[in-house]
Chain A
Amino acid sequence: MNTQNQTTQERRDSAPQGSNDILAARNVTKRFGPHLVLDNVSLSIERGKTTVVIGPSGCGKTVLIKHLIVLLRPTSGEVYFNDSRIDNLSEQDLNEVRTRFGFLFQGGALFDSLSVFENIVFPIRQHNRVKDWSHVEDIVKSKLAMVGLDGFQNYYPANLSGGQRKRVALARAIALNPEVLLYDEPTTGLDPIRSDVINELVLKLQRELGVTTVVVTHDMTSAYKIADRIIMLHNGKIVADGDADHIRNHPHPVVQQFINGQVGEDDLAILRMTGTASQTQFLPRDFEA
């Protein structure tokens, strides 16, 4: 049953782009020098749904999500947004496309020199989205209220905690009412409660704004909670694609290892090779003159 389910689910990768797909990557390969990060990856993102990309650290998740907004250009392959190819556009043309995206960076990437208010106003001001500037304070207030941080307008990023920074960054990401929200490791570095706050926010924004959401994470609790669809990336390739149940029951050993948080035989072999505890620990004699 699993195999059949896998076949059905993974056929979506190679299926032609439908009208309900807002984003698509076709045969995307990315190399940094000799290092192959994405290996012929194809996927499409369904409009209005939450797609979560999981995978171990260094497997190419962040590189993949940056390709979807063309912050990185593929070595080969194509990226589509609303059926139009975007990876070959000039930076100037891309600027217009990017206003339809919101991107939450791993560390928030708030502008240090600007206050919370100025950070959220930044995209609005850059794109002249407000006709009556007297309303801009209300707009910022509503964006901050949406992430539960109304009243923090005059704070600077340095005065905020990690979770607050991510929420302000989220408020900035939704400032232009985007169609697609991309989250790069939204819960990394946060305690379980703050992580759940972010998960609830992801769900809330998806529900209330109706945005298409793509989340990159290695936090399985978060993935199961927010995902309509989960894609697993391993060594630059998609190894699993389906809903939470499909991933839970996936026969691929790498998927099972990852979702259960088990160390693989390869990693164990490396640990064994580094020597025993007595060989690797310092002893008092090592410090004697």
Chain B
Amino acid sequence: MFEVLGARAIDDIGNIGQFGRFCWQTTAACLRGCWNHKTYPLVWAQMHIIGVRSVPVIMITGAFVGMTLAVQAYDQLKAMGFEERLGVLINISVVKELGPVLAAVMLAGRVGGALTAELGTMNVTEQIDAVRSIGTDPIWYLVAPRVMACLLLTPFLIIYADLLGILGGFFVGVKQLGINNWAYWSFSASGVELWDVVVGIIKGLFFGGAIAVISCYKGFTCKEGAQGVGQACTEAFVSSFISILVLDFVLAVMFKAIYNTFWPFRSLVG
């Protein structure tokens, strides 16, 4: 048993090292790519695939998050006589946590799966080796544009998710449940600060980078055959999802510490 555990531990350490090396190579390729005009059309093409085509699904996600929050929270707040504060609850949840996290999870499923499947298929059909045999760095040609596109566009997609989440919450809270329009927005404005919105958007940068790097890595290292590609896609989604949650926690702690350093505590209920 110890032998098996030891072998597995060595294997895992090897994989972590390999992933670390891949991240380093990707960072170097992205930095090199910033000064190489040949990278721009590649990034542009990926921005269309990753960003533009994800807008509808991200908007739908955001809208339903806002609407569901309104439906779930209304009764509890009404029982306490706080129903006019529904806006602040929905909006701060959406811009700070649910918008970024759920948009990133949707992206991990839509974009991450596609990236792994595409690069995994290229790997098993020797297309990645073909890129290398031509004398082109496959990390620069295949990974860097995808990572850059994800890094650049995830924050924008999160803005879309936030907007639709806020509108969804407004629609259910004000139009369906009859909360006073002025009170709804006035409490929201007093409770949600620019800081909260910026925190959500900055999280998007990290989430986007993590999704792209993990998905590309899984594609580059996937095993032979259809089963290998399928397994790589599953692993890419699970790993991306877990890293989104872990990053979200770490960033929440970090940003809270930064906020508390410069600004006093504020209560949303007081």
A: which residues have CB within 8 A of B?
A: 66, 69, 71, 91-92, 94-99, 101, 103, 105-107, 109-112, 122-123, 125-127, 172, 176
> Which residues of the other chain, B, contact A94 by a CB distance below 8 angstroms?
135
User: Which residue of the partner chain B has the closest CB to A127?
Assistant: B135
1/0 per residue B175-201: CB within 8 Å of A? 000000000000000000000000000
> Which residues of the other chain, A, contact B130 by a CB distance below 8 angstroms?
103, 105, 109-111
Measured CA separation A277–B67 after assembly (Å): 68
1/0 per residue B123-142: CB within 8 Å of A? 00111011011111100010
Smallest CB–CB gap between B25 and chain A, Å?
Answer: 9
> Which residues of the other chain, B, contact A103 by a CB distance below 8 angstroms?
130, 133
Cβ-defined contact, A105 with B137, below 8 A: no
Cβ-defined contact, A107 with B136, below 8 A: no
Cβ-defined contact, B135 with A109, below 8 A: no
Measured CA separation A98–B136 after assembly (Å): 9
Cβ-defined contact, B126 with A106, below 8 A: yes
Measured CA separation A107–B123 after assembly (Å): 12
Cβ-defined contact, A107 with B125, below 8 A: yes
User: Which residue of the partner chain A has the closest CB to B45?
Assistant: A113
Smallest CB–CB gap between A90 and chain B, Å?
Answer: 11
> Which residues of the other chain, B, contact A127 by a CB distance below 8 angstroms?
135
A-B contact pairs, 22 of them (CB 8 A): A69-B133, A71-B132, A92-B137, A94-B135, A95-B137, A96-B135, A97-B135, A98-B133, A98-B135, A101-B133, A103-B130, A105-B126, A105-B130, A107-B126, A109-B125, A109-B126, A109-B129, A109-B130, A110-B130, A112-B127, A126-B135, A172-B134
Measured CA separation A172–B121 after assembly (Å): 20
10 closest Cβ contacts across the A-B interface? A109-B130, A103-B133, A98-B135, A99-B135, A109-B126, A95-B135, A123-B134, A105-B126, A126-B136, A109-B127
> Which residues of the other chain, B, contact A95 by a CB distance below 8 angstroms?
135-137
> Which residues of the other chain, A, contact B129 by a CB distance below 8 angstroms?
66, 71, 105, 109
Q: Which of B121, B122, B132, B134 contacts A122 (CB 8 A)?
A: B134
Q: How many A-B residue pairs have CB under 8 A?
A: 58
Cβ-defined contact, B133 with A71, below 8 A: yes
Measured CA separation A107–B124 after assembly (Å): 10
> Which residues of the other chain, B, contact A110 by a CB distance below 8 angstroms?
127, 130
Measured CA separation A252–B234 after assembly (Å): 49
User: Which residue of the partner chain A has the closest CB to B124?
Assistant: A107
> Which residues of the other chain, B, contact A106 by a CB distance below 8 angstroms?
126
Smallest CB–CB gap between A159 and chain B, Å?
Answer: 16
Measured CA separation A103–B132 after assembly (Å): 10
Q: Which of A66, A91, A125 contacts B137 (CB 8 A)?
A: A91
Smallest CB–CB gap between B224 and chain A, Å?
Answer: 12
1/0 per residue B119-163: CB within 8 Å of A? 001100111011011111100010000000000000000000000
Cβ-defined contact, B125 with A98, below 8 A: no
User: Which residue of the partner chain B has the closest CB to A111?
Assistant: B127
> Which residues of the other chain, B, contact A109 by a CB distance below 8 angstroms?
125-127, 129-130
Smallest CB–CB gap between A113 and chain B, Å?
Answer: 8
Measured CA separation A105–B129 after assembly (Å): 9
Cβ-defined contact, A123 with B127, below 8 A: no
Give 13 A-B pairs besides A95-B137, A97-B135, A122-B134 with Cβ atoms closer than 8 angstroms: A66-B129, A71-B129, A91-B132, A91-B137, A98-B132, A98-B135, A105-B130, A109-B125, A109-B126, A109-B127, A110-B130, A112-B125, A126-B134
Smallest CB–CB gap between A120 and chain B, Å?
Answer: 11
Measured CA separation A251–B199 after assembly (Å): 76
Measured CA separation A84–B189 after assembly (Å): 69
Measured CA separation A63–B129 after assembly (Å): 13
User: Which residue of the partner chain B has the closest CB to A97?
Assistant: B135
Measured CA separation A97–B134 after assembly (Å): 10
Measured CA separation A110–B122 after assembly (Å): 9
> Which residues of the other chain, A, contact B136 by a CB distance below 8 angstroms?
95, 123, 126
Measured CA separation A95–B134 after assembly (Å): 7
User: Which residue of the partner chain B has the closest CB to A184?
Assistant: B126
> Which residues of the other chain, B, contact A105 by a CB distance below 8 angstroms?
126, 129-130, 133
Most buried by A among B127, B134, B136: B134
> Which residues of the other chain, B, contact A99 by a CB distance below 8 angstroms?
134-135
A123 and B135 in contact, given A105-B126, A111-B130 (Cβ under 8 angstroms): yes
Smallest CB–CB gap between B233 and chain A, Å?
Answer: 17
Smallest CB–CB gap between B262 and chain A, Å?
Answer: 44
> Which residues of the other chain, A, contact B135 by a CB distance below 8 angstroms?
94-99, 123, 126-127, 176
Smallest CB–CB gap between B118 and chain A, Å?
Answer: 8
Measured CA separation A97–B132 after assembly (Å): 11
Measured CA separation A66–B129 after assembly (Å): 9
> Which residues of the other chain, A, contact B141 by a CB distance below 8 angstroms?
126
Measured CA separation A94–B132 after assembly (Å): 9
